[in-house]
Amino acid sequence: MENLVPVSYTSNPALRTILPDEKWKGTPLDAKGRFINHEFPFWPYLKDVLKWQVEHNPYKEIKKQERWQLPVRKSNSFLTSSDDVIVWLGHATFFIRINGVSLLTDPVFGNAGPVKRKAALPVAALDIKGLDYVLISHNHRDHCDKPSLKIVASQNPQTTYLTGLRMKGLLQDFTKSTQIQEAGWYQQYITDNSKIKVYYLPSRHWARRGLTDTNTQLWGAYIIEAGGKTIYFSGDTGYGSHLKQVGELFPQIDYCIIGVGAFAPRWFMGSNHIAPDDAVKGFYEMKAKNMIPMHYGTFDLSDEPLSEPQRMLIDLKEKGKINGELKLLDIGEVLPIG
């Protein structure tokens, strides 16, 4: 068993920490210098993976019969306009233009490693140009994809990458860029503050690319403030008190982009991926106005059918369980920021 107890703390001294010293020592590290969740320490034990693989999946027959697919609206008009918009490109990839600043989150344009893509990209990847910032929440292959990042870099040599601590080497290898900022939790990136502010916040997750690098690179979420609007992007996360704290730190969140898929079975996935009902709970606790679900329908990563997160959310909405606006976007659908 791993000893997942914080023994030291770290941050990027070049960036501003938004919490005072008496409330936040820095991002926690264990005795081996690996990052750990500050509320729910987690380690991906092989025995748990094997248990999941051999146990019965109650959704098995439903998944075999399911033909559901996310609708895809194929158009690149949002790329050539100047409107402030949020556009879901699938999974955790969003194109966001806010206050005239263009951002892309966790770009994955094709398959995620060996996992086949189930929903088409709504635009040609080579057409995604003019990006000011690319946000890479963590190093998992369905969020940090080498082929996709190589395309981003080739078409956007001017862009700046905003990511977590110890991610620079990986991103430099993928993009050859020198414009990479690494942040610890509760740190603010260096941007043109007159146009946009971006912060890196905790999420309940973990990280690994290979067999021996577990939790050596940081994972996290983002807050984007620009043009009088605030957007939360959860990255990958399980449920935790950090969601409520986001709303306390940023009390006017207009759009909460949050994962809702890859949650079953909950005993295995719940430490890292939030289920739809818990995502709704977190949305309520952060007192956001609009909930934009993501991380479902694009890749089959867990036991539940691809349609199950959306079905659960519609059911919760019909029962009056969602306080605020539920924005179930099609892939490629343009949501004006207003």
Instruction: Give the ranges where the chain is alpha helix by DSSP (H).
Output: 46-54, 60-65, 77-80, 146-155, 168-175, 242-249, 266-269, 276-285, 308-318
pLDDT digits (tens, 9 = 90+) for 260-278: 999 999 999 999 999 999 9
Please compute the mean of the pLDDT values over residues 57-83 and round it to a whole number.
Answer: 94
What span, in angstroms and rounded, lies between the C-alpha atoms of 274 and 105?
18
Which residue from 280, 285, 203 is spatially nearest to 237, judged by alpha carbons? 203
Is the pLDDT score of 338 beyond 90? no
Q: Are 308 and 59 in contact (CB under 8 A)?
A: yes
Ranges of each domain in the chain? 72-336
Give tens-digit pLDDT for 109-151.
999 999 999 999 999 999 999 999 999 999 999 999 999 999 9
In sequence order, the 6+-apart residues with CB closer than 8 A to the CB of 83 are 97, 334, 336
5-39 per-position pLDDT tens digit = 999 999 999 999 999 999 999 999 999 999 999 89
Which run of H or of E encompasses 297? none
Asked whether residue 1 carries a pLDDT value surpassing 80, the answer given is: no
User: CB under 8 Å, gap of 24 or more: what pairs does 78-84 form?
Assistant: 78/334, 79/123, 79/127, 79/128, 79/129, 79/130, 83/334, 83/336, 84/227, 84/229, 84/336, 84/337, 84/338
Is this model's pTM higher than 0.95 or not? yes
> pLDDT higher for 4 or 163?
163
Which CATH number describes the domain made up of 72-336? 3.60.15.10
Is the CB of residue 280 less than 8 Å from the CB of residue 288?
no
d(CA 295, CA 201): 19
DSSP code of residue 72: B
pLDDT of residue 3: 84
Q: Is the dihedral of CA 197, 201, 205, 210 positive or negative?
A: positive
